[in-house]
Structure 1
Amino acid sequence: MELPPYLATMPMHAITEMHGEAGLRERFRLESETFDADDRRRLDEALDLAARLHRDDRRSREPYLNHLLRVAIRMMHHYQVRDIDVIVAGLLHDAVEDHPAELAADPPAGDPLAADPTAAALAVLADRFGPRVARLVAAVTNPPWDPDRDRHQQYHEHVAASLEREPWARVIKVSDFTDNGVGVIHSVGPKVESSARKYRPLVPVYRDLVTRADTPLSAPVKQHILEQLDLAEERFSAILDEPAHQP
């Protein structure tokens, strides 16, 4: 498929709608060109692993890999992130949560990690990409759901607690949230309302985290993110709030 020369400036959801995964992969390649050869190799390795782990996963109307590509591209382009560990962790941010056993590849019997697929999967990431990448992925990996608790409440509390101590993980999670929240209008069916209900309570949490002095983003980038949070809130309101009755 021949891709247009203006791909580097197109909005990511426009790329998704018009060119699909191939277009997002090309945009990712264009964004990666500014890194040196070793960094590009690490990015390619992370993308290959993400593509393999999520090869059968779908997200509404699209391959799940599209979401991971948009999270990474957003960090490189809109957030001006040059830290390769952070971008690698962005590509792999759902790998441990969604595919721990496949990623861990069944540690030997007797290995203490064999009883804990999540720990085993994080150990694999640490070995392949370094302990910092594994730590960032761990910070954005949801714990198993406690059936005695409200699922959304557990999720919200986990996000607030895990991002409190990992400023760079905030950057990954905000990009993830933007794709889910601002991008809620690209979902279909019941997922539109369920996503709005899940993510709406997190808007003030992210506002607080983004504006903190230790969040490693420039002032213009923080302002851009705050505007995206405003847009997400507007979309959640349009989906969830009852329209005012006209006299």
Structure 2
Amino acid sequence: MAQEMLLSMPLHAITEIYGEAGLRDRFRLEIAALPDDDRGQLEDALELASRLHAEDRRVREPYLNHLLRVAIRILRYYGIRDVDVLTAALLHDAVEDHPAELAGLSADLSYKELTEAALAELGQRYSPRVAQLVGSVTNPEFDPGRDRHEQYRSHVVASLEHDPWARVIKVSDFTDNGVGVVHTTYDKARSSATKYRPLVPKLRELVARADTPLSPAAKDHILDQLDLAEERFAAILDG
């Protein structure tokens, strides 16, 4: 496959046709021009994400596909080359989903203890900033007596309010889940639309803020994607 073609393809098209191997190739092409040290850190982060999420699936695809799309989107469509942000993008679900494996500890410890240890491991392995970014997009332990989706949305709003760089990771994650909602089963799409739709207005407001570290073109692109996600949520929930 020609590199030019792979670089021009939408990410979900690569996923449908070439799967994980195609997304890995696209990621490799996207980081090729980065400094050697940055490239090495990203290759290490991808290997760590691959190991931690090896058995994880998103309905019908390896979970790693989602992580690759989130990182590639930040590179290609947001124009971000910040190695810590890209590392955190690849590992944004690692602490939430696999804290014990990441920290090398027993799963019998509390969620809080495991989360803190896993973030400390990321800080030591990469940088304190990577740990802080992953921490900002990691869900806390939810109260089983409250609505889980409502708690998730409250956490996202609070954590992104004062962390502009974490917004970059979250909007790419949200785009993959929101615009990509049509690439899954109906039951999963309806659940995702119910969870994510109320967040769209707040994400629009956060993206548009002056302190969000994105170019005007990237912000316009993201706002268009949020509009598309809202259209798809409406079609699923209101149609």
TM-score range, shorter chain: over 0.9
> Which segment is superposed worse, 189-198 or 52-61?
189-198
2:221 to 208, 224, 228: 224
State the AA in 2 paired with 1:54: H
Letter in 2 for 1:94: D
CA contact (8 A) 2:111 2:141 kept: no
**Matched residues in 1 for 2:186 and 2:126: separation?**
37
CA distance in 2, matches of 1:236, 1:106: 39
2:185 match: secondary structure: coil
Higher RCO (CA 8 Å, separation ≥ 6 residues) = 2
Distance 1:215 1:114, change over 3 A: closer
Counterpart mapping for 1:188-203 below 5 A? 188-203=185-200
Aligned to 2:70: 71
Q: Residues 76-91 of structure 1: matches in 2 within 5 Å?
A: 76-91=75-90
Match of 2:102 in 1: 103
Counterpart in 2 of 1:245? Answer: none
Q: Which amino acid aligns with 2:10?
A: P
Structure 1 position 238 matched with structure 2 position 229: no
* Code of the aligned partner of 1:89: A
The answer to whether the 8 Å contact 2:122/2:131 transfers is: yes
Query: Which residue number corresponds to residue 7 of structure 2?
Result: 8
Amino acid at match of 2:166: A
Q: Where in structure 2 are the equivalents of 1:95-244 lying within 5 Å?
A: 95-106=94-105, 116-242=113-239
What amino acid is the match of 1:168?
A: W
User: Gapped runs of 5+ residues in structure 1?
Assistant: 243-247
Deviation, structure 1 residue 205: 1.0
1:54 and 2:53 matched: yes
Residue 33 of structure 1: aligned partner: 32
Take 1:154 and 1:223, find their aligned partners in 2: how far apart are those partners? Answer: 28
How many residue pairs match? The answer is: 236
1:189 Cα deviation (Å)? 3.9
The 1-side partners of 2:46 and 2:235 are apart by 35
* TM-score, length basis structure 2: 0.96
Q: Aligned-pair distance for 1:24?
A: 0.1
Q: What CA RMSD, in Å, does the superposition of the two structures yield over aligned residues?
A: 1.5
Please say which of residues 209-218 and 3-12 is displaced more in the overlay: 3-12
Farther off after superposition, 128-137 or 184-193: 184-193
The offset of 1:215, in angstroms, is 0.1
Secondary structure of 2:156's aligned partner: helix
Task: Determine which structure has more spread, i.e. the larger CA radius of gyration.
Answer: 1
Give distance in 2, aligned partners of 1:17 and 1:4: 17
Alpha-carbon distance in structure 2 between the residues aligned to 1:230 and 1:212:
17
Runs of 4+ in 1 over 2 A off after TM superposition: 112-115
Normalising by the residue count of structure 1, what TM-score does the alignment of the two structures yield?
0.93
Counterpart code for 1:87: L
The answer on whether the counterparts of 2:102 and 2:121 sit within 8 Å (CA) in structure 1 is yes
Question: What is the identity percentage for the equivalent residue pairs of Structure 1 and Structure 2?
Answer: 66
Instruction: For residue 4 of structure 1, report the CA deviation from its aligned partner.
Output: 3.6
Gaps of 5+ in 2: none
CA contact (8 A) 2:112 2:141 kept: no
Contact 2:7/2:26 (<8 A) preserved:
yes
CA displacement at 1:97 relative to structure 2: 0.1
- The 8 Å contact of residues 71 and 90 in structure 2, kept in 1 or not, is answered as yes
CA distance in 2, matches of 1:165, 1:209: 10
Q: Which amino acid aligns with 1:159?
A: V
Quote the offset at 1:173 in angstroms: 0.2
